[in-house]
Structure 1
Amino acid sequence: MKSGDLDKRILESEERFRTLVECAPDAILVESEGNLVYLNPAGAKLLGAASPEQLAGKPLADFVHTDGPAPVKQQMQQGEAADWPTDRFEQKWVRLDRQAIDVEVRAIPINWSGRPAMQLVCKDVTDRKRAEQALLESETRLRSIINCFSDFVYFKDGAGRWLEANDLALQLFQLEGVSYSGKTSAELAGCSGMHEKFLLECDGSDELAWKSGRQVGMERRIVLPDGTLKLFDVSKVPIFHTNGSRNGLVVIGRDITEHKRTERILQDKRERYKSLFEHNPDIVCSFDLEGNFVSVNPAVEHITGYRPQDLLGRTAKIVIVPEDFARAKEHFAKAAQGEPQNFELAIIHKNGNCVDLNITYVPIVVHGDIVGVYAIAKDVTERKRVERALTEAEAMYRSLVEEAMIGVYIYQDGRFVYVNPRMAEIFGYTQEEMLQMDVLDLFAPEDQPLVARNIRRRMSGEVQSLRYQVRAVGKNGTQIDLEVHGALTVYNGRPAITGTYLDISERKQTEELLRESDKLAAVGQLAAGVAHEIRNPLTALKGFLQLLKTKTDANQDYFDIMLSELERINLIVNEFLVLAKPQVIHFEPKDVRLLLQNVIALLDTQAILNNVQIFTQFADDLPLVNCAENQLKQVFINILKNGIEAMPGGGHIEIQVKRRGRDQILIRFADQGCGIPEDRLSKLGEPFYTTKEKGTGLGLMVSHKIIEAHRGKISINSLVGKGTRVDVILPAAVGGSPR
């Protein structure tokens, strides 16, 4: 062949190749040394350029998305090393307008102008990727929906191959972990273990559904792994293409074991529904995006009283209580945007009763678009009734505990986890403070081992319930007598002790007063006996002394003194009888100052012998006091003698008399004696209790009794080393003139 003809044919061949490349629908790019040296029009369009010249010379790396798989350069290097076209791979590229696109690339090593280069054949697969993603999302939503059902559900294609199954179906047929998609029931039978026979029989019933062209229902017995026999109502619904060819098969199975058992008991042969929609015992319905009922299963009539035809084409507002409608509408709007919802609301039954429902909203997605909302509603009226009853019972119990007059507690892990207000009041703390305290810190140190031992006995289960008395210490340091009761229980899933604290301090004081009363009764009996024994010889002495006085005129003064002293002894014996029984006392208005002056004159000698000075301070406007003169003198003598004897080394006694309000008089005796310890003050006045070495305790007891008979009171305050102050308060005589 001539050289000219050869050149012509080469040029024609190059022209045909260039035309083919320029008109190719796929993008063709040539890269050399990292830069684009050629792009066909489809390549420029792929990258968002108006013409190939706009991109010539630009680095290819500028168009590769950084978040994509392995860079194009790496794939190209592998092709160059093998001197062979690479396999197709996908990359995410970025156009000039910064829009990200998915690209399928194949790299072919070539020579370009005498230099190694790589020809890239690219195809925009963005739409395909989006469609794949939409399909994946649709399948995910479908699985989410079918997993909401309490029935087993699976789908087959027109050739009988499994496409999708819910978790219950996989669990029931022991296909968990098995790659079932694309396999027939016969192929899966070998993977199913004890359900092989069931799966092998499926093809026959599938064919029956295909040939009938409609839903086919049947009952199947299935043995669970634990040997339990379950009866399932299985429905198979064939789906056909528009040309009549087979498209798919929906298989739905519901456990009707309990239902059948009930039917047998009631001998009520009720017709079974043949679709998932009609079988569900809960309300299953669908809505359009406007919220109107599109379909309603028969369960709605049982739960709401309305027939399905009463609701179709209408909104749920017809049944929802007004106060819940806005909330239901809000949940519906979210479901219509693709968010499944679960919530509870109340509806009004056709008979006027209120029914509580648990609602699940699931969006209906067709070809990636939400076209409506499925709703599944379960009647939870009984559960809500029980919950309300429990709430009311708990509120009533809490009210009872909170208002109880005894302390109620729950103990766990060394601390109180609950105390009622009365419990906090007993100790003087707030409820919050008690929850932070160590329990043992509330008790007297000597009783803490007892409390700790009893807690251990109950927590270990040695005893279930225990009651005992113990001494506690309040926040202000006062001692509290408690009766503790506790029993082992469970709180928040762990062992605890619940019980009560009863403040028995007042009861203890009452018991103490009863004991004091018994003492006084004994003292009264003793006093009556002693007085009787003294008065008999005293009468004889007085009689014989009066007889002797008439027999002689000598020493008459001595006789008068002895008779006076015998009269005084008789008076003291009469005072002693005050302890034995109530006596008629003659009250007369008297001036307390004169009584005190007589008593001071009587004891002045004893005071001088003990180096004690007595000072008086009498107010001028003192009213008279209705009193028994000798008894009141006895009280003043007892108080003054105690003061004198409390100062063996000498000192002062101050006596102050003044008004106390409008109708009382205060007589105050203050000495500089050794004082009385605080713990002994409360026992002063008890029979036979004394702070003196040779005392009997009767003097102050008699004084208290006399003042009480005068409707007054005695109070004693003392400081050790400082002295004692005795206040006697007496009511003023009615109409008594102040002096």
Structure 2
Amino acid sequence: MKMKLVFLYLISSLIWLYVSNYILVHFIPSSLEHYVERGKEIFYILVTGGIFYFFILKKEELDTTKEEEKRLSTLINSMVDFVNFKDGDGRWIQSNNFGLKLFQLEDVDYRGKKDSELAQYSEFYAEALNYCEISDQETWEKGTFTRFEEVVPLPDGTSKIFDTIKVPLFHEDGSREGLVIIGRDVTTLRQTEERLNRTEKLSVVGELSASIAHEIRNPLTSLKGFVQLLQMEDNKHPDYYQIMLDELDRINHIVGELLLLAKPQHLKYTKSVIQKLLKDVISLLAAEAALYNVQIESNFPKEDIILECEPNQLKQLFINLIKNSIEASKKDSKIWISLELTEKETIILTVKDKGSGISTERLQKIGEPFYSSKEKGTGLGLTVSYKIVQSHKGNIVFDSELGIGTTVNITLPLVQDSSLVKNHLKEKA
């Protein structure tokens, strides 16, 4: 563009000189020739000076615009939110680095392209980008800003939740001018809300449990004693008595879980070999696994892993998880239990089955009190499991697909005191 302007200026100057000299020689009297020649020179200076002044002003405006654009770019790139500006046709004008990185478009010349065109450069996010055009169209048709939450999957298998706002801009004649999109990452906020909600439910369950558990157990003991006495004296209906005893045991088990949730747990941590705890639980559940015709395969490190924990609670945790896998597994199937020691001084326990799996809807509610997919389940087993993991400063994650199976990953620190962990890491370094 600059070369074209220079070339145009040179051609115009040559034409001006040639034409003015021709007129000066053929049409201007010799007596006025001197004045006309000076006037021609002054006119040329004024015109060229005006042109240069015009370009100087334009350059200053351009520099100011570039400076403002640079400031705007710096501002939006410093934001931890996804910011995107589009024109009236849905073409990308400006996006911050966060948004480009999110959709894997860092090395793409995105300006002037629609979402569907950019989808060709990002295979993983092609579907999400194509959906953006549909969402944009709904915003345009609505004529006012829209706000919604959307889940964006990540390549590592996790996902982020964005609180997205889309604001349409219109010209005075009502035609589309542009679209402003801001997406705030609220993943941590939603996870915190979910934990608070679960904690609140546990608190309610605890209060309820504390008030009724002991009241239930007292008459329960009397009922069980009388049923056992009748069973000894009456040989005509042994099956009925056994059913009543089994149901009373089930009630007693439920009350025990309620008490575990109700009373404050003053844990006394001891150092235990995690492999031994797991082997004890597997041996305990071997008969039940055989009853369901399910095999349990384990893969543990040969070297003993010492874990600071409350052994009985961890056994309860392992029993709940492995028992659930056994009951969910199909006949002639396997359950895999593996243990791994990480460099971060934590262990990762994985329990995997190829059972019935859990639907996405149920997976979101898993661990909530009194929510169970089992016909006679109370939902307290996994609630207790969550509480045990939480009390050991660990993390539990369920990954399941309906009809495919379920994988449970539990992460637990080797040492409960964080300062001891840091010292231990320094000693190893």
Q: Do both proteins adopt the same fold according to a TM-score greater than 0.5, normalized to the shorter chain?
A: yes
Match of 2:314 among 599, 622, 632: 632
**Residue in 1 aligned with 2:88?**
412
1:649 is paired with a residue whose SS is coil
Is the CA contact 1:484–1:500 (under 8 Å) kept in the aligned structure 2? yes
Is the CA contact 1:415–1:439 (under 8 Å) kept in the aligned structure 2? no
**Greater relative contact order (CA < 8 Å, ≥ 6 in sequence):** 2
**CA deviation after TM superposition for structure 1 residue 639, in Å:** 0.8
**Residue in 1 aligned with 2:294?**
612
Change (3 A) 1:667 1:450: closer
**Residue in 1 aligned with 2:327?**
645
Is the CA contact 1:403–1:421 (under 8 Å) kept in the aligned structure 2? no
Match of 1:530 among 196, 205, 209: 209
Q: Distance in 1 between matches of 2:413 and 2:326?
A: 27
Change (3 A) 1:631 1:576: farther
1:731 matched to 2:413: yes
1:395 matched to 2:72: no
C-alpha deviations, 1:179-203, integer Å up to 9, x for none? Answer: xxxxxxxxxxxxxxxxxxxxxxxxx
Please show how residues 193-592 of structure 1 align to structure 2 within 5 Å. Answer: 360=47, 380=53, 384=56, 388=60, 391-404=63-76, 405=79, 406-430=82-106, 431-433=108-110, 435-438=112-115, 451-456=136-141, 466-469=145-148, 471=150, 481=162, 482-488=164-170, 497-504=177-184, 506-507=185-186, 510-511=189-190, 513-539=192-218, 573=255, 575-577=257-259, 579=261, 582-592=264-274
Change (3 A) 1:468 1:644: closer
Gaps of 5+ in 2: 1-17, 120-126, 226-231, 233-247, 425-429
C-alpha deviations, 1:95-126, integer Å up to 9, x for none? Answer: xxxxxxxxxxxxxxxxxxxxxxxxxxxxxxxx
CA RMSD of aligned residues (A): 5.2
1:140 matched to 2:31: no
1:652 is paired with a residue whose SS is strand
Structure having the larger proportion of residues in helix: 2
Change (3 A) 1:609 1:419: closer
Q: Distance in 1 between matches of 2:139 and 2:109?
A: 25
C-alpha deviations, 1:261-299, integer Å up to 9, x for none? Answer: xxxxxxxxxxxxxxx97xxxxxx977xxxxxxxxxxxxx
Change (3 A) 1:621 1:545: same
**Residue in 2 aligned with 1:596?**
278
2:109 is paired with a residue whose SS is helix
C-alpha deviations, 1:444-480, integer Å up to 9, x for none? Answer: 77775553143256xxxxx5x6353364878979786
Q: Distance in 1 between matches of 2:344 and 2:147?
A: 50
Structure having the larger proportion of residues in strand: 1
Residue type of the alignment partner of 1:710: H
**Residue in 2 aligned with 1:702?**
384
**CA deviation after TM superposition for structure 1 residue 411, in Å:** 0.9
- Count of equivalent residues: 365
Structure of larger gyration radius: 1
Gaps of 5+ in 1: 1-134, 144-162, 165-238, 242-246, 253-275, 278-283, 287-339, 343-358, 362-375, 458-462, 547-553, 555-565
Change (3 A) 1:438 1:514: closer
Change (3 A) 1:421 1:732: closer
Match of 1:712 among 394, 399, 406: 394
Please show how residues 37-48 of structure 1 align to structure 2 within 5 Å. Answer: none
1:673 is paired with a residue whose SS is coil
**CA deviation after TM superposition for structure 1 residue 502, in Å:** 1.7
**CA deviation after TM superposition for structure 1 residue 597, in Å:** 4.3
1:435 is paired with a residue whose SS is coil
Residue type of the alignment partner of 2:101: E
**CA deviation after TM superposition for structure 1 residue 717, in Å:** 4.5
Q: TM-score, normalised by structure 2?
A: 0.63
**Residue in 1 aligned with 2:229?**
none
C-alpha deviations, 1:366-404, integer Å up to 9, x for none? Answer: xxxxxxxxxx779959x9568526622541333323541
**CA deviation after TM superposition for structure 1 residue 710, in Å:** 1.4
**CA deviation after TM superposition for structure 1 residue 514, in Å:** 1.1
2:186 is paired with a residue whose SS is helix
Change (3 A) 1:696 1:379: same
Q: TM-score, normalised by structure 1?
A: 0.40
1:590 is paired with a residue whose SS is strand
Q: Distance in 1 between matches of 2:33 and 2:342?
A: 107
**Residue in 2 aligned with 1:235?**
none
Residue type of the alignment partner of 1:517: L
Q: Distance in 1 between matches of 2:41 and 2:111?
A: 55
Residue type of the alignment partner of 1:391: D
1:603 is paired with a residue whose SS is helix
Is the CA contact 1:591–1:623 (under 8 Å) kept in the aligned structure 2? yes
Change (3 A) 1:533 1:509: same
